[in-house]
Amino acid sequence: MSALVVYSSKTGNTEKVAKAIHGVFPKGTDLYRVEAAPSPDDYDLIALGFWVDKGQPDDAAKNYITKIKNKNIALFMTLGAYPDSDHARKSMQNVVGSLNKDNTVLGTFTCQGKIADNLVKSMATLPAGHPHAMSPERKARLEEAAKHPDQKDFDNARATFTQIIQQYTGAVHA
């Protein structure tokens, strides 16, 4: 099995999760930032990680996604919202829906992560009533997001990808 873990990261959140995930892949699995990633054509299994920007993968990840065709893919993402929120679910659905239809999604993982400081500052200046204006709920969520990813998140990511790899290798050898 030739495998690739490729990720984009703005604040370092997705990179940390990518490195945790990479640790459960077989020896010889490649790990690249999306900007330096090789063509996906030579890989059987691709783990693609990205940060969420307005309910979509960031632009660098979007660009790489267009190159992936007829592959087995596992997705992981980080975002400031709670991982079990509607926004998180819709964001992952957006990514899955944007993939070339001949790809097979083997699984997904979502992790909360710190939001870039400049974005938090920008939210603080928005007028009340704006959908992204600072509110007590938003402030609490941002404070919680700043604590992630943490060790529990890394453990959950490793467990999720261990299961994905086991299912994939079991299906290949069946």
The per-residue pLDDT for range 116-170, each reduced to its tens digit, is: 888 888 888 888 888 888 888 888 988 999 999 999 999 999 999 999 999 998 8
Task: Read off the CATH number of the domain in which 41 is found.
Answer: 3.40.50.360
Confidence of residue 56 (pLDDT cuts 50, 70, 90): very high
Same domain? 163 vs 91: yes
In the predicted structure, residue 31 carries a pLDDT above the cut 90: yes
Please list, in sequence order, all residues whose beta carbon lies within 8 angstroms of the beta carbon of residue 122, skipping any fewer than 6 positions away.
none
Same domain? 89 vs 51: yes
Same domain? 75 vs 122: no
> For the chain, what is the domain count?
2
Residue 35: exposure state from Cβ atoms within 10 A (0-12, 13-18, ≥19):
exposed
Q: How far apart are CA 32 and CA 27, in angstroms?
A: 15
Same domain? 121 vs 74: no
Same domain? 119 vs 108: no
Select from 59, 58, 54, 48 the least CA-distant residue to 17. Answer: 48
Asked, as a colleague might, if the bond just before 131 is cis with ω within 30 of 0, I would say: no
In the predicted structure, residue 173 carries a pLDDT above the cut 90: no
Question: Which domain, by its residues, includes 143?
Answer: 115-147
Same domain? 105 vs 66: yes
